[in-house]
A and B are shown apart, each in its own frame.
Chain A
Amino acid sequence: MIGKSKWFSPRKYTGWGLTPVTWQGWLYIVCFVAPIAILSSVSIDQNIKNTFTSIWIGIFLLDILHIMTQMKKDEREYLHEAIADRNALWFMIFVLLISVFIKQVIDPIFVIALVGATLIKAGTQFYLRDK
């Protein structure tokens, strides 16, 4: 893969993902964004543009995922992130439930999200059961 985890740190106060902390990290971002910006200003076939952009973004997202898996966190950071993610999840569930009561319609996406989240929670508990 391309990027290195030491170039970035996990976002704490501005959502999820990564933020560059070294010049290499900023250069990495520029190197991924620049070709898309240049391509959008060039007059070539739209299909070629779309194909290239999709592949380029796909590579970028895969590399970001790889960097995130390689990022080292100590136990205090893991604990804090777990608590913050749990709180964010509860807020999202609360807002989704409120939206159901306001709209009086159960959106299938809401059901998928809730059932999916329940399955992921069960799977995680099952995985962690003997650890």
Chain B
Amino acid sequence: MQTKIKEYRAKLNLTQEQLADLVGVRRETIVFLEQGKYNPSLKLAHDVAKSLKTSIDKLFIF
């Protein structure tokens, strides 16, 4: 799985810590999500997409 979280996060000038706070997870979880090493639940994927003002299908590439 690949993600574009880093790109979208950079567009909004958000740090990993800020994004983590927005979606209610630890920063490490954002790190692993960005690296495509962790498959999130649908809820977390939705929350991340919403926080980055995009959709799940644009953010996660399977």
Contacts and interface: CB of A to CB of B under 8 A. Distances in A.
A and B found bound together: yes
A74 interface: yes
For this complex, into which size category does the number of interface residues on chain B fall?
A: 10 to 19
B26 A74 contact: yes
Contacts of A77: 26, 29
A131 to B, nearest CB: 13
Interface of B: 24-26, 28-29, 32, 38, 40-41, 43-44
Please give me the 10 A-B residue pairs with the lowest Cβ-Cβ distance, nearest first. Answer: A74-B25, A76-B29, A74-B29, A75-B41, A74-B26, A76-B38, A75-B44, A74-B24, A77-B26, A76-B32
A66 to B, nearest CB: 21
Interface of A: 72, 74-77
Dominant SS among interface residues on chain B? loop
Dominant SS among interface residues on chain A? helix
Given A74-B24, A75-B40, 12 more contacts: A72-B24, A74-B25, A74-B44, A75-B25, A75-B29, A75-B43, A75-B44, A76-B25, A76-B28, A76-B32, A77-B26, A77-B29
A77 B38 CA distance: 11
Contacts of B28: 76
- Select the residue from A72, A76, A77 with max chain B CB neighbours within 10 A: A76
